[in-house]
Structure 1
């Protein structure tokens, strides 16, 4: 195939490579995450552990789970962890996947049809409009996912978990929660993607007829 890679020495080509890398990093950090809430109980002086695991798309549905089933002790606490944060997570991941697919497509256009890109006024305009759309999508999906992540942290917090069967003799079990560092990074990557796509607007705009026309007007005026 006759490919022209010189465009990747230009800012618009370099930015697309960055889009590719950070789009993958953003949605992969969400889809590959696995969290857990561990209940470290003790019944009849015997340790008993229950681990509730959750992952993407973060639909938490632990409802009145008994931590001491079948035990002869009178202590039978039940726990509930309820929360659906799938819409925010899926919006974020969908934005990342669509951004990845568009970036692959436009990279191919840059490399294979660079001459057409520079001579056909419509192609740069389409590139610019789609870049605007993805900048807006990254901003809105990152904000939504940041809100969803906040809700996920709240739902799995030891002070928020729902308990039943608790009294003076049957107390809550100690709870340990997995770290959210990967998901925190995903939010940062989301807003970083917004910045990269917004910054690329200038370089794509310079290829459009709007910019070229303005340059021509300025040159004629001089």
Structure 2
């Protein structure tokens, strides 16, 4: 193991030149926006609220929720004027949220690995056609995964907003709110979700970056026709 590590270090040659080319520059952008995508989703925590008025007594109710948005696990105590009743938010949206974050984390790891390859082992990357071809296939797969995960997460975010809307929350428990004379439920402010809105935008930005980068990686593969004709063809044309 030590011998392999030593061999890799001996072949390492730092060259920042690829960062000036679209191939390396776009990969850096992918690395940055991938971090933004999963960080804005994975660390989110919000609070929705409403108030219960019993006569002249107003009791606030705050419900905290967050990633991975298994809303039924978010419980709150509903005041029934004389007592309290335990209630829960509805809707489990964890699968789409976790899938989106998973794509972001794996995309970040792949960007890190390829940047090391571009900047430290460029000679190995261009030594055979295998490296660019594998890079092209993986990048195309990630572009497709960003399309799927961002679309799914955008739809789920709409459902999360509906489930945590104070107005919808009060409407869903209208029987409890009006079951006792003099009791009234008042919707509070909407939870701040600008961070989650940004996460969806970052997802589709990643789709554009990864899909666009496929073209520049494709130019590194043998599938791309050389822009300049072979030297032999040029010489033959000159002699004729």
With structure 2 as the length reference, what TM-score do the two structures score? 0.82
Q: Which runs of 5+ in 1 are unaligned?
A: none
Aligned counterpart, 2:14: 3
Secondary structure of 1:95 counterpart: helix
Matched, 1:67 2:75: no
| Distance across 2 between alignment mates of 1:183 and 1:9 | 33
Matched, 1:206 2:219: yes
Aligned counterpart, 1:91: 99
- Deviant stretches of 4+, over 6 Å: none
CA RMSD of aligned residues (A): 2.4
The one of 78, 90, 94 aligned to 1:82: 90
Aligned counterpart, 1:195: 208
Secondary structure of 2:68 counterpart: coil
| Distance across 2 between alignment mates of 1:24 and 1:61 | 28
After TM superposition, give the deviation of residue 158 of structure 1 in Å: 3.3
Residue pair 1:77, 1:170 contacting (<8 A) in 2 also: no
Higher helix share: 2
| Distance across 1 between alignment mates of 2:161 and 2:214 | 35
| Distance across 1 between alignment mates of 2:26 and 2:126 | 18
Q: Which runs of 5+ in 2 are unaligned?
A: 1-11
After TM superposition, give the deviation of residue 57 of structure 1 in Å: 0.2
| Distance across 2 between alignment mates of 1:45 and 1:122 | 75
Secondary structure of 2:168 counterpart: coil
With structure 1 as the length reference, what TM-score do the two structures score? 0.88
Secondary structure of 1:208 counterpart: coil
